[in-house]
Amino acid sequence: MAMKIPPEVREAMAELSRKFGRQGGKKAARNMTPEQRSARAKKAAEAAAKKRTADRLARERAHKRTPERGKAK
């Protein structure tokens, strides 16, 4: 059974998340070596390219499924 969190505690937790969540990536980058930053950027770029490719292929599949208009029978 889920435990109810009091509103004042929930608000305090949200405030901490807002405050420290903003510095997460920047602080992590400052603590990394240049090689680690490069590896992280490369991994992110590959993931973005993979997503773009998947989105493009999905659009192409959807386009092929639609009946062609203006064809004579």
For 41-67, the DSSP string reads HHHHHHHHHHHHHHHHHHHHHHHHHSP
Higher pLDDT, 67 or 30: 30
pLDDT of residue 47: 97
Are 32 and 40 within 8 A, CB to CB?
yes
DSSP 5: P
- The residue-averaged pLDDT of 9-31 equals 87
- The yes-or-no verdict on residue 55 having pLDDT over 80 is yes
pLDDT at site 27: 85
Per-residue pLDDT band at 70 (split at 50, 70, 90): low
- pTM for the full predicted model: 0.53
